[in-house]
Amino acid sequence: MSILKDKNILLGITAGIAAYKSANLVRLFIKAGANVKVVMTPASKEFITPLTLSTLSKNPVYSSFVDEEDDNQVWNNHVDLGLWADIFVIAPATANTMAKMANGVCDNMLLATYLSAKCPVYFAPAMDLDMYKHESTTTSFKKLASFGNKMIPAGTGELASGLVGEGRMAEPEDIVAFIQNDVLEQLPLRGKRVLITAGPTYEAIDPVRFIGNHSSGKMGFAIAKAASKLGAEVILVTGPTQQSVSSNFISVKSVVSAEDMYTEVHKHFNTSDIAILSAAVSDYKPKNVATQKIKKKETTLTIELEKTKDILKSLGAIKKNQFLVGFALETNNELEHAKGKLKSKNLDLIVLNSLQDKGAGFGVSTNKVTFITSSKDIIENELKSKADVAQDLMHLILKQTHA
């Protein structure tokens, strides 16, 4: 999964020969999982067709405020388009368009959208060598940078004029890589490692049967995705579950039993900055595991159980600078029990949810939680999707750790 997944990317195309590369740029953004819309200057349509770009982006292409060929003309709202974008990329950016951007000239839809955008703006210059080196162009570069816009440096190579030198638009792959790296550098958990547990554990009775619970792992996987989107390197230790995730930033460690999870978690805790233990770990396991399948003979079967290791408490006992988060699923006296766990296990934050709340608990895609901090702040939340709960949790951790 790319850091650009689910991002809204607005691609602006101006009238340079390098516009032909824009088709591949759209394709690469789509491949990274982004949503893409395209806005063109009218003259850029002489270099690449809107049909090509709309087909690749699966969205209409904008080049004017109204469609002149439509008898029922509808205004293309440049403000809405600018607000829609998480990232605005202008590639190619000609000397003409950059000069207009630098001086507030607004004579087409692309420029109007640029002046309305609230998101980060990247521009990839493309022009001949002498134009690229001209003082007016370098002045545009400086002014645009002073506005907070980010320049994707042009490459050196053969130019449309036949000259060889600087001014060639960066290749689409390099543009995507530049933006990905820049986005990552801005993320608050860049360089941090987050350890997360998810799912149930299964405790063997014999080679066929086990003791387990109904945890689906959805909450833990949602937290892992939320942490990775903030730039963290995530270690996800998960019990048996049907959940899956594909991301360059999430390393999945599959385990089965509470003992397996204890061992795997302790491997990674010392090198982690944040640990979030959302797994539903079995509290007990069979004292003796049969080596052969137990046959059905008697009308009753007695299995002696013993406690499993308390993973959360063991981490609380050895933590140094780690921010430690636990989960408490309760059925009665919820708040008191959660506060007790927060203190006894030396946690920085505990997430309480109750099986009494409709829509919360195992197997569903929603959750209703209460956050309790070590400073005794109690933050109640309404019923939300587990993805939204995960985002709320990560934002609270950021606030608590000042990351």
Instruction: For residue 109, give every residue at least 6 positions away whose Cβ sits within 8 Å of its Cβ, in sequence order, or none.
Output: 39, 62, 63, 64, 65, 76, 78
Cα 69 → chain centroid: 40
Residue 234 forms beta bridges with which residues?
194, 250
CB 225 within 8 A of CB 209: no
Question: Which of the following is catalytic: 8, 77, 213, 381?
Answer: 213
SS3 content of the chain, % helix, strand, coil (to 5): 35, 25, 40
Structure tokens given for 166: 């600087």
The HSE-up count of residue 394 (CA atoms within 13 Å, CB side) is 27
Q: Is 213 considered catalytic here?
A: yes
The Cα–Cα gap between 278 and 365 comes to 15
* SS3 assignment for 79-138: HHHHHHCCEEEEEEECHHHHHHHHHCCCCCHHHHHHHHCCCCEEEEECCCHHHHHCHHHH
The Cα–Cα gap between 264 and 196 comes to 11
The Cα–Cα gap between 362 and 389 comes to 14
Tell me if residue 349 falls in helix, strand or coil: strand
Strands 193-198 and 233-238: parallel
Tell me which residues are annotated as active site: 213
